[in-house]
Structure 1
């Protein structure tokens, strides 16, 4: 793991507040992010909110193509810097074409992964360094950070067991070693510890119902506190 400190991973200022609410789900592979993101979107829609549910890499036509390049097997060698740049390029398109326009309309935007994943996977687990990866992504997104990041925490063994139970072929990152996924988990927890005001950390082993209730309650509090 890199020795760089994650104490201020999202300290760079953005271009100003958006009208909507931006929620990111983070965590290791198999933590349950996609499921909880869908449940949150459904609950907010039922409550009358305009909601955009999206994912990374992806969320745009070019993002989905870049997703296949960086995650699918059979693309040849993808070194760490190339990997980081592909994720940042997909994120730049995602923010410019999808996320920021929705926020400007007043929507609640829910994304499955965001900048935190790049800081953790490429900055820490790949050893590129937290600050270079963070700065690259701040530039790519024009400084847009989530209002709330939900971190679902499971250890590497639990994550691998869940992925095996899904009976799906693991992508390039999912198929990395347990040591890699252990570094990912530790780095996510470090980011959350450094910014407790903007992170909700939950034990991913809890029931779907308990997790969804706690996430909805936290998002509702943030919505109610906004002007």
Structure 2
């Protein structure tokens, strides 16, 4: 079980459920924080944690699916495991489509819960690494001028310098200078690498 530096955040309005889940996970050496509702969790929430969220669906105030939507707006990268006694197929489909890694029903066995948490930890590592790549890519592109950005977006679609010059109404030599500056500022080793950096930054490179 991967557990070092990972935290499981349990959000459930039933004290007995919170306590039993917390005890089970702590016995595996996993750090746990519990919350009685979505509001208290949001007040304590900080982006960037390694771990996952075990979330009940039906709670007073903000429900589990509503909390999931809010966390998407916060660009949350912690995987969410839904654990509920009131689930149905449409609800589970909605949760999974919105990015939940699992949708489990109460009561849950120790083996099944630990397997789901393990999968969530592995996914958390992947998401954190991907986020680091995205931030790195964004910082590289931030130094580009508006014109350099325009040249880059056309170049990574496969257009040659002469075509770029024609589309932007600038000289062939100016395009060469811009492309040289782009490669230097981004640290890209070739056009394919530049396209990767643009993609990892979240830019729509298909247009």
The TM-score normalised by the length of structure 1 is 0.36
Q: Which has the higher contact order (CA 8 A, sep 6+)?
A: 1
